[in-house]
Chains A and B, each alone.
Chain A
Amino acid sequence: MIQLILSSQFLFGVLRLTTPIIFATLSCLIAKKAGVRNITIEGTMLCSALGGVAVSAWTQNVWMGLLAGMAVGVGVGLFLGYFHIIMDTDIWLTGIAINQFANGLTVFVMFLITGDKGSTSSLPSLTIPNVHLPLIEKIPIIGQIVSGQSLLTYLAVVLLLVIYILLYKTPLGLRIRAVGEYALAAESVGENADRIKLIALGISGLCASFGGMFMSMSYSSRFARDMVAGRGFIGIAAESMGGGRPMAAAAAALFFGVADSLANILQSFSIPSELLMAIPYLATIVGLVVYSAKKQKDEQRCIQQNIRNETDDKS
């Protein structure tokens, strides 16, 4: 088993399975930085997954499909923003309702297009190409792991950097963080908090859209109902564990990718598959609890330290 885990195939699979979770994590991260808990990532991914497949089949151009999926993602993000920010709807209820909406809508639209409620296998949809990296491909082991992944997997890495730079090195990022930290303070210096939140939600939807399209145009070559299977939600958990830091969140996403691949690989052993399928979800709960407990302890220690310092100062 150890051999299997250390094999390049396994690590290749880890990167592959981490990709949608990274996108979901980034999506959650940027919304949270603007002070909005976006739990519609799951639904956004579903909508984009279908949008990408449908338009790529219709235009027979994979890039048009990609663009359409992105537009759908931004649209769902703004839809959430409209209801939460402008119509002042409770964020949890909005999220739950939009996810349900996406569940119904995707099956409905799929039925209109294909006459099938299960999957779009009858559509001649295209897939996003895998990329073989020159030079790196030649390196033993590493080449086998890193090269030949989907274009979107590399995009995930790029997007991680872009989001990091956007948040910490650009004026827009500063605005987003300021609004998320304390919207009233940002408004008091003339910032339009609602507008910034809407922009952040648009970007959040865009990030999620790539995750959805990875599922339907790369991981598999068609759209199927409920195909995202909780990955959007796992991204939310990964973001929580990362504590708002993009790199840490990506590391947490990788952890879930490992759990996912482990579940895949253990199937060749005589472990009941039902229990294996529960691994990523169980890992999410355990990971979240361990992280939260640690954070709580750190905060307590910090407070105690402060009290001690103050009493020292007085004496």
Chain B
Amino acid sequence: MNSRQVNEMFQIIKTMLAILVAMVFAFLFIVLISNEPLAALKAFLVGPFSSMRRFGNLIEFFIPVCFTALGACIIFSIGQCSVIGEGAVFFGGLIAAWISIKMGTGGMAVQLAALLGAALVCGLIAMIPMHLKLKYNADLFVDSLMLNYVLLYMGTFILNYSIRDSEIGMTASYALPEGSTLPVLVQKTQITTALLLAVAAVILVVIFMEKTSVGYQMRMVGLNEKFARYSGMSVGKLCMLSAFLGGLLSGAGGAVEILGRYERFQWLGLPGFGWDGILIATIAGFKARNVPIAALFIAYIRTGADIMNRTCDVPSELIIAIQSLLILMIASRGFLSKLHQRLIVQHVKSNAAESEV
């Protein structure tokens, strides 16, 4: 075992232990506040697997956050803190709906146009705060965050003045044309071909980040920007590219969400998938290959929380709060640092003993 494997093993132990602690917290609170703790726990833990429809909910949640988490991986692995994912998901969904409604027909071509259009627009938008950061050194976090709100209100404006259906009782767009929504893959659920797209996105991003020189350069910039710069990498261009790809993926996530699960565009606020994406990327250690399992885990506890919320007396927000604690533990370098040190010391000692022999 080399030292890298020791580190990886430690990361796995740490993540597992953090999950365990968070789950214990969740159980404690559920038992404390619920009048029917056993039923609540059962709904939370087993609920997502108790019927095909509920398992479908899990996968349906998985799809958009898988996209946003991949986007967050790309942006954060270059060492930049842009939170544009949230706005990009919203705007991506809106643009996809807008394109399908304006085209007015269904079919593969329309789906593709809506998806690509939404992804491209969001990719370009995500480059704005990064550009402002690189050119003027304006705070990337604040700018990207404010842009999220601007996108929300701009999107609401487009919804109300361009595609709003005034004949129904709620604020929503015209119905998406027949055949413009993604085909359902699994009967009795809303799992659509979007799942295949998500899997394809994971594979592409893993290959891009781990097997191409551009991906390697991006990770290098994230590890040590000065080193990368002195080695002749064009840091600015790499940052812009990562912002573009991050926005593109989040936008695509919003697009497949709307085209897969909705009949009309009806988001009136930011849907929250962007923040979930960042949290999932943290659990995955910002490595694209770990995203599916991390996203599945978050999708599992969130679906369980929703079922518990619907069937019992425990609100699902409890799980959102505990999920954030989980992220804090995983992201902290101090958590279990003594164990980490002991593992490494042990490893070095055993290596030394071996070389003596």
- A: which residues have CB within 8 A of B? 39, 83, 86-90, 92-94, 96-98, 100-101, 103-105, 107-108, 111-112, 117, 230, 233-234, 236-237, 240, 272, 274-275, 277-278, 281-282, 284-285, 288-289, 291-293, 295-296
Which of A100, A101, A281 contacts B150, CB < 8 Å? A281
Given contacts A101-B325, A104-B324, A293-B136, contact A278 B332 (CB under 8 A): no
Give Cα distance in the complex from A288 to B144, angstroms.
12
Q: Is the CB of B320 within 8 A of A240?
A: no
Give Cα distance in the complex from A311 to B149, angstroms.
49
Contacts of A296 in B (CB 8 A): 136-137
Q: Is the CB of A275 within 8 A of B157?
A: yes
Which of A90, A236, A272, A285 contacts B147, CB < 8 Å? A285
Contacts of A96 in B (CB 8 A): 83, 275, 278-279
A-B pairs, top 9 by smallest CB distance, nearest first, are A104-B320, A104-B321, A87-B334, A101-B324, A278-B153, A87-B332, A89-B332, A274-B157, A281-B149
Which of B139, B317, B320, B328 contacts A288, CB < 8 Å? B139
Interface string of B61-87 (1 = CB under 8 A from A): 000000000000000000001010000
Contacts of A101 in B (CB 8 A): 320-321, 324-325, 328
Q: Is the CB of B321 within 8 A of A108?
A: yes
Contacts of A281 in B (CB 8 A): 146-147, 149-150, 153
Which of A87, A93, A285 contacts B335, CB < 8 Å? A87
Number of A-B residue pairs, CB cutoff 8 Å, is 149
Count of chain B residues with a beta carbon within 8 Å of a chain A beta carbon: 47
Q: Is the CB of A295 within 8 A of B137?
A: yes
For this complex, 15 residue pairs linking A to B, each with C-beta atoms less than 8 Å apart, are A87-B335, A88-B332, A93-B327, A98-B328, A112-B315, A117-B317, A234-B146, A236-B139, A278-B150, A281-B149, A285-B143, A285-B147, A289-B138, A291-B138, A292-B138
Interface string of B306-337 (1 = CB under 8 A from A): 00000000010111111111011001111101
Q: Does B161 contact A (CB under 8 A)?
A: yes
Contacts of B333 in A (CB 8 A): 87-89
Contacts of B327 in A (CB 8 A): 93, 97, 100
Nearest CB of A to B78, in Å? 13
Given contacts A94-B328, A233-B146, contact A89 B334 (CB under 8 A): yes
Nearest CB of B to A72, in Å? 15
Q: Is the CB of A107 within 8 A of B138?
A: no
Interface of A is mostly: helix
Contacts of B262 in A (CB 8 A): none
Q: Does B145 contact A (CB under 8 A)?
A: yes
Q: Is the CB of B332 within 8 A of A240?
A: no
Q: Is the CB of A97 within 8 A of B33?
A: no
> 16 more A-B contacts (CB under 8 A) besides A88-B332, A93-B282, A275-B153?
A83-B328, A86-B334, A92-B141, A96-B278, A100-B275, A101-B321, A101-B328, A104-B319, A104-B323, A107-B317, A108-B317, A236-B141, A272-B157, A272-B161, A275-B157, A292-B136
Q: Does B111 contact A (CB under 8 A)?
A: no
Nearest CB of A to B313, in Å? 9
Which of A93, A108, A233, A291 contacts B145, CB < 8 Å? A233
